Structure 1
Amino acid sequence: MMNAFPVFVDYLTIRQVHDSGNLPIINGGRVVRVDSDGEIEYVIDTRQGLEGSFDSRVEIRCDGHTVEFSGNISRYGRPDNLFGFTFSETISRINKLLESFKLPPFTKGKLYRFADSGWTWTGARVSRIDITCNYVTGSMQDSEALLRSMAGHHIGRQKGSLSVNGATVEYGRGSKYVYGKLYCKTTELKKHRSRKSGSHVSDDVVQFCQSLGVIREEFTLKSRFLLQNGLAYLGAITDSELIGVYMNRTQLQRLEKVEYENFNDLPPRLRATYVSWKYGYPIELKKTQFYNHRKELLKYGIDISIPNNVQTLPVRVKTVELAALTAPDWYIQKYA
């Protein structure tokens, strides 16, 4: 079953302590630290990587008491994860995987009230959740233009940063709170297909994304964010809570219309440089590349060696119509 509202979970890190112990030991090896006197300071079980079909992979670990899962279960055993699953469905799929290793499922536990810390759950604890939603822009040209436009927007204090290829806008890279990004799904799929891990993505899926100009908005909710917002325990997390988090942070749901400049007159290799200059971002080019780009952009009346107060390209305004994308029937029947 897919989301009624198309926000789904991409990546999840979750663990749970079982006081009774006596669970199967599952790890990818152990790291032992020994001090100068030869005493063992600590032993860490590394995660065991599980290889699924279609070159997919997740990781689990159990030291006999604590069970941990980390990875993208919506990609595991599937050729792609263009459309994923709700949080509740994600937990169900993870628990089925744990069952195959004779490990107990992740549970909500019980809700207790403590005088010093308020209400808290006793069950599984979550330290990372990636939530995402796909959108239709109408064409590849519109998706690229939308990303260029969104590079000038802020999410809170985080200003968008456009990648060199113009296919990704990032917000808060390196943040220990929330990291967000918008990216062209077609570009990502084509990049993956050049590697073994993405070679199974079908032509149908790539063509579907390309013809509709599909972009994805994604937020990585990190442990600090989850703790401060009461979402650190499985018992406190619901699909409606995560949709609420997404709706509070999304830029795209707030836009009725997106106007953008048509840059088709510029060669593709110059577009990211122009956008960086236009919005005041650092132009991260080697010295020789910088002067080559400057020379070429001067033909369009743009001098990137001078702050943005010179004549720019004539603006041709177009409106991009956005729509949140749900999985079509053919995708559900064939891949879900």
Structure 2
Amino acid sequence: MQQDHPQGGLPLVGTHVIERIELETGEHLPPSVNQKILEGSYSTKLTIRCNGTRVRVEGNPSRWQRMDNLFGLQTLDDCVAVFNSVLMRYGLPPFTKNTDVQYRQSPNGKSAQLVGNGAEITAIDWTINHEVGQGKEQSFIRGMSSMQIGRGRKPKLYPDGHTCNWGEGSTWMMTKLYNKAVELKRHLLKEQRRKDGVSDDRLSYIESLINYCEKHGVVREEHSLRQALIKRHNLQFYGRVTEADFNPHLQDIEKAMNTIQISHDEHQSIADQLLSLGVVKSRQAANATQSYALIWQHGVDVRNELSSSNYYVHKARLKAIGIDIGQQFDVSRMCPTLRRSETIEVKPLQIPNWYHMPVVSQSNVLPFQAYA
């Protein structure tokens, strides 16, 4: 978010400033100030910058001063309240709502642009959590990755199957689905454990959060709306737009889910089936019986490979899971490795009663410092 103050006179905020002079005329141009990185509690970061006339803040207000943001802020006003608290610490004016929007004069040949008298949203992310069931996250993400969404936006499924992006690198918008438990393990838990002096209570909370996401099979849907889209639909004017105005641009995944039915299949090897049913007591015995089942599938008569007694031992074991090596293998009747198949039901994720919801006033009183 950013806001211009044409009257100027604001303090410069950044890590360094570059003064600029027009060589032909000697005129002093507005200075160039790079961003200052602020670090708050739990390794959270925001960036702030002011060149004397323009104030800009970037970052995730739902994550600021919190251990996680599984459930975040619900309104634009709450997000801006977090930013304004940071601006106040640096003696900068707060972001204000637009009360007037009008066209400004533009160069010849250029289309006219709307400008407001308040803060401008230059990028915004929206998220929603889906509950798909324990262990079904990859099946759901892989199933969704089979579809284009929106206007021909092609999917990019990551090799691990835990993340799929649509429109990666786009200046318009990017949509993402990812396994939230895996993301928490990769970043949050690793980061917390790396810190010296992390309390047991904090680690316990993070581990409870990961277990909760795994138990419910949480898949996170995320929409990153970029400046080109925001300006095209006049969504940049804080105070003149509501949360509902963004909804038409957040429906691509919902529409795709309404047109596809995704199933979750659980497969087991022959050896695993023998062990899970108690047909054999050791992995060695299970693997031995599995090996004879595999050569039987290749057309070998197992009777010729084993003594009579051993043949009937392995035959009895395999019959317990529905495989009869006494019959010639028929490719149209494949031996069972599919343990279970079921349609994935997607539900909104409920907030557990122990979860620490964001409280703007609490975030705004915690200390932070400049990182760079």
TM-score of the alignment, normalized to the shorter chain, above 0.5? yes
Q: Which runs of 5+ in 2 are unaligned?
A: 105-110, 195-201, 270-296, 299-331, 361-372
Alpha-carbon offset, residue 32 of structure 1: 6.4
Alpha-carbon offset, residue 114 of structure 1: 3.9
Cα shift readout 1:281-318 (whole Å, capped 9, x = no counterpart): xxxxxxxxxxxxxxxxxxx99xxxxxxxxx99998642
Secondary structure in 2 matching 1:130: strand
Q: Does the 8 Å contact 1:260/1:317 carry over to 2?
A: yes
Amino acid at match of 1:30: V
Secondary structure in 2 matching 1:224: helix
Q: What is residue 226 of structure 1 aligned with on the other side?
A: 230
* Greater radius of gyration (CA): 2
Amino acid at match of 1:330: W
More strand by share: 1
Query: How big is the alpha-carbon RMSD for the aligned residues of Structure 1 and Structure 2?
Result: 3.5
Q: Does the 8 Å contact 2:266/2:341 carry over to 1?
A: no
TM-score normalised to the size of structure 1? Answer: 0.72
Q: Does the 8 Å contact 2:31/2:51 carry over to 1?
A: no
Cα shift readout 1:251-303 (whole Å, capped 9, x = no counterpart): 3784387323526359xxxxxxxxxxxxxxxxxxxxxxxxxxxxxxxxx99xx
Q: What is residue 94 of structure 2 aligned with on the other side?
A: 105
Q: After the TM superposition, which residues 1-336 of structure 1 pair with which residues of structure 2 at under 5 Å, given as runs?
A: 14-31=1-18, 43-86=31-74, 87-114=76-103, 117=112, 120-139=115-134, 141-156=135-150, 157-193=152-188, 195-196=190-191, 202-246=206-250, 248-251=251-254, 254-255=257-258, 258-260=261-263, 262=265, 264-265=267-268, 317-332=341-356
The total of aligned residue pairs comes to: 278
Q: Distance in 1 between matches of 2:49 and 2:2?
A: 9
Q: Which runs of 5+ in 1 are unaligned?
A: 1-13, 267-299, 302-310
Q: What is residue 4 of structure 1 aligned with on the other side?
A: none
Secondary structure in 1 matching 2:354: helix
Q: Does the 8 Å contact 2:72/2:358 carry over to 1?
A: no
Q: Distance in 2 between matches of 1:232 and 1:170?
A: 24
TM-score normalised to the size of structure 2? Answer: 0.66
Q: Distance in 2 between matches of 1:67 and 1:334?
A: 25
Relative distance call for 1:113 and 1:69 in structure 2 (3 A) is: closer
Q: Does the 8 Å contact 2:103/2:113 carry over to 1?
A: yes
Relative distance call for 1:191 and 1:118 in structure 2 (3 A) is: closer
Alpha-carbon offset, residue 197 of structure 1: 6.4
Relative distance call for 1:31 and 1:249 in structure 2 (3 A) is: farther
Alpha-carbon offset, residue 129 of structure 1: 0.5
Q: Distance in 1 between matches of 2:176 and 2:101?
A: 36
